[in-house]
Structure formats: structure tokens, C-alpha cells
Structure 1
Amino acid sequence: MEIPYRELFPQLNLRQWSGIIYTWLTHALLDPTNSGRATMDNLMCAASARIE
């Protein structure tokens, strides 16, 4: 994921955040079926709810 941006942001290290991002994306709010992945639909619903 970070390879396309390496030239623009040489200090970018997304791997250090991967565990935190995964935990956030698989939170019960975004992954109601506890599948271990979040769908874009669930993510958009959560974002829309926060904006409102």
C-alpha cells in the first residue's frame, strides 16, 4: 500500500499503523457479522452517522 507513495513521502511507514487500522476497521460497528473484514457499505454508514 505504501509503495506508490514512497517517492512522494519517503518517511511514510504504513506498516506501523496496520494493526491499529485493522482493529478499527473490524470493530463491531463496521463489521457487524464479525467476519474479520469491513465492507465499504458498513464504513460509509458509520461515516454518515458520524457526520449527521
Structure 2
Amino acid sequence: MQPSPPLISTLSVGACLMDPERGWNDWYAQADKALYRAKSVGGNRVEWQD
């Protein structure tokens, strides 16, 4: 029986400040923009959206 190759995983995170004056849809959109930016530069990173 041959050994299995190691499992490799990555994690990309998009984050934003949750301003109480903004609604859930705005928070989601801002974090989503940051997530796609993290993925577009290769992933395995955290991106912040102001």
C-alpha cells in the first residue's frame, strides 16, 4: 500500500468593519469584494475592505 499524498488546503478571507449605520447587505457586499480581491491575488490570505 502506497502512502497517500498530504492534503493541502488554503483559506481566503474577506473582512470589513461592521458600521451600525450600514445594513447587512452593505456589510456582505464589502466583505465579498475583499474576498474576491484575496482570491484574485492568489488566495491563502486575508483582505480588508474599508
TM-score range, shorter chain: 0.3 to 0.5
Instruction: Normalising by structure 1, report the TM-score.
Output: 0.33
Larger helix fraction of residues: 1
With structure 2 as the length reference, what TM-score do the two structures score? 0.34
- Which one has a bigger Cα radius of gyration? 2
Specify which structure has the bigger relative contact order, considering alpha-carbon pairs within 8 angstroms and separated by 6 or more residues. 2
Higher strand share: 2
